[in-house]
Structure 1
Amino acid sequence: MKSQITNRMATVLISVCAGLMALIMIALVGYIFYQGLGHVTWHFLTTVASTFQVGGGIKDQLWNSFYLLIVTMIFTTPLGIAGGIYLSEYAKPNRVTGFIRSCVEVLASLPSIVVGLFGMLVFVNTFHWGYSILSGAVALTIFNLPVIVRVTEDALRSVPVALKEASFGLGVGQWYTIKNVLLPAAFPGILTGIILSAGRVFGESAALLFTAGLTSPDLDFKNWSPFAFDSPLNPLRSAETLSVHIYSVNTVAIVKDAPQVAAASAAVLALFVLIFNLSARGLGAWIQKRMSGKS
């Protein structure tokens, strides 16, 4: 009887904690939407931002956020998955492996402002990339790489050993087993790490202040050459993202509608993060079916 009471109390406590977390998230997102969605219009989404005139939009900042996300994930995803595969399947338990794990843990605990200062000193000044999308993407790669490495390693280790042994029993090699057996089984966990990293890219501002910059040229969406200064695809131009724009509007903007612009920008940012997460999970489910051979 005592064990049953304890079990019920633990179940109730865990359910209350889960409900509390969901309630906090719903309240936070609901408040952001309540404050900002009323100011979001098509004109706001397609107009160039302004720190001096009323009625500015977020067209360039919205594009910069997505473009920076794509460039960052191109760098982060293959490196992080490869690192997780190495630590899980190839690395031997020795001092070198322990040193690598310590480096990953230290990188994961670094504040974003420190990564931003490092990016400014190395990528902006030493490599002479300037305040650019490339500098910001590489800095965010350093910032997000430990997350995908650890998530990939844990996801691969959580795959039942019987699957690996069955594959080896058929006489196939280690890489074939990793590619066709372990990765499809561990894909949901790896996808969760990728989504978490992408969400951090969307919301990051401290590291981008020192690497991508606080300004953005008026983008010419008719010129998609990556070598033009005002081209949307130019990786060496400065790029104020949506999260940095929210900070800028709340600190240095002198327009009368700064609170409304900041609230609308925050609502758009939260909305696109939710849409991205749901879309990524749907795409991940489809990819997992393809990788596992299900129709």
Structure 2
Amino acid sequence: MSPRLTDKLATAVMWLAALLILGILFCFLGYMLIKGLPVLSWDFISGMPSDTRAGGGVGPQLFNSFYILFLSMALAMPVAIGAGIYLAEYAGNNWLTDLVRLSTESLASVPSIVLGLFGMIVFVNMAGFSISIIAGALSLMLLNLPVLVRVTEESVRTVPASFREASLALGATKWQTIWRVVLPNALPGIITGVTLTAGRALGETAILIFTSGTTVSRHLPDFDLLASGETLAVHMWYVMAVGLVPDRMDIANGIGALLILMVLLFNLALAIPAELLRRRMTGSGR
């Protein structure tokens, strides 16, 4: 077989694989949106849930989803980005940094239900937070932290060494080089990692069932960190598993569509400001 024919066959296989993945994705999203969009209304999105009567909403669960996500990311991002920069720019190649990387990758592969049980033991029982929003946010931070560390390190490492050398040659310090040159160019990769991590966290259930609970406050919004904080994903699981509400299928379909729309809007809300910030920090017009 000639190299040209081999190249064409390989290209065709790659295109078929990409189209297959896109087809599965569109079928899944289309099914969820077709089933769930008719359920979405202002009363459903902002209303209070009901355990027995049809027509309840998911307002508290929607608020708790973003509240817990914001708290967990606010706790994880400074540590993760700092650790990623240290591993990429300052740490040497020795057994200690290899151990840190191995530990980070091992933590990223731990099943979420194990992190949920760990969070229940440490934050709920030992720390005395009980089943609460803060316990769920701290446990969710453990899920986000290793992924953000690895994404930050790899994004920083992809910045060409010539950028650093040019900045240092102009008299900039190492920190100025990292802040003004390296981070702006690594920002798209970091934002991509943050977006993927946030999307995963929005749909997390196992961790939050054990730490933030399956009930909500009757006040909306409730910023009390010690209040119980059921999220949308947990509410979907609860309704389908043990719920007695007669329209539980409609509620589950509506939550599924709402989660999809939330992830899409969240991606846009992060990607557009990140690109504008990168252009401002690098002085690039495109």
Q: Work out the percentage of aligned pairs sharing the same amino acid.
A: 43
User: 1:173 Cα shift?
Assistant: 1.4
TM-score normalised according to structure 1 size: 0.94
Task: Output one character per residue of 1:24-81: Cα deviation in whole Å (capped at 9) or x when no partner.
Answer: 1111111101111111111111210111111111010001101111111111111111
* 2-structure distance, mates of 1:289, 1:23: 34
Correspondence 1:284 to 2:274: yes
Note the C-alpha offset of 1:94. 1.1
User: Aligned partners of 2:281 and 2:242: how far apart in 1?
Assistant: 49
Q: Post-superposition shift, 1:258?
A: 0.8
Which deviates the most, 18-27 or 107-116?
18-27
- Alignment match, 2:185: 185
Residue 253 of structure 1 is matched in structure 2 by: 243
Query: How do residues 77-116 of structure 1 correspond to structure 2 at under 5 angstroms?
Result: 77-116=77-116
Contact kept in structure 1, 2:73 and 2:144, CA below 8 Å: no
| CA distance in structure 2 between the partners assigned to 1:265 and 1:96 by the alignment | 45
Tell me the equivalent position of 1:64.
64
Q: How far 1:245 sits from its partner (Å)?
A: 0.3
* Equivalent residue letter for 1:259: M
Letter in 2 for 1:234: D
Q: Spell out, residue by residue over 1:180-203, the C-alpha distance to the aligned partner (whole angstroms, 9 max, x if none).
A: 110011111011000011101110
Could you report, residue by residue, the CA deviation over 1:59-107 in whole angstroms, capped at 9, with x for unpaired residues? Answer: 1000110111111111111111111101101111111111111110110
1:210 CA drift (Å)? 0.7
- The unaligned stretches of length 5 or more in structure 1 are 222-231
Q: 1:220 to 1:140 in 2, by over 3 A?
A: closer
The separation in 2 between residues aligned to 1:13 and 1:284, in whole angstroms, is: 34
- The correspondence of residues 92-171 of structure 1 with structure 2, limited to 5 A, is 92-171=92-171
Matched, 1:271 2:261: yes
3-state SS in 2 of match to 1:210: helix
- Tell me, what secondary structure is at the counterpart of 1:154? helix
Q: 1:34 is matched by which residue type in structure 2? A: I
Q: Is the 8 A contact 2:156 2:183 kept in 1?
A: yes
CA shift at 1:171, angstroms? 2.2
Tell me the TM-score normalised to structure 2 length: 0.97
Q: Which residue of 2 aligns with 1:16?
A: 16
Q: Which residue identity does 1:87 align to in structure 2?
A: L
Deviates more, 1:12-21 or 1:248-257: 12-21
Distance 1:75 1:293 in 2: 30
What letter matches 2:246 in structure 1? Answer: K
Question: Would the aligned equivalents of 2:60 and 2:220 in 1 still touch at CA under 8 Å?
Answer: no
Structure 2 residue 173 is the aligned partner of structure 1 residue 173: yes
Paired residue type of 1:167: S
Give SS of 2:47's match.
coil
Q: Which amino acid aligns with 1:292?
A: T
- The Cα of 1:134 is off from its aligned counterpart by 0.9
The equivalent of 1:76 in structure 2 is 76
SS at 1:237's partner residue?
coil
Q: Can you give the 5+ residue segments of structure 2 that lack an aligned partner in the other structure?
A: none
Q: Which residue of 2 aligns with 1:228?
A: none
The residue identity in structure 2 corresponding to 1:106 is S
Name the SS of the counterpart of 1:10 in structure 2: helix
Aligned residue pairs: how many?
285
Residue 286 of structure 1 and its aligned partner are, at CA, apart by: 1.2
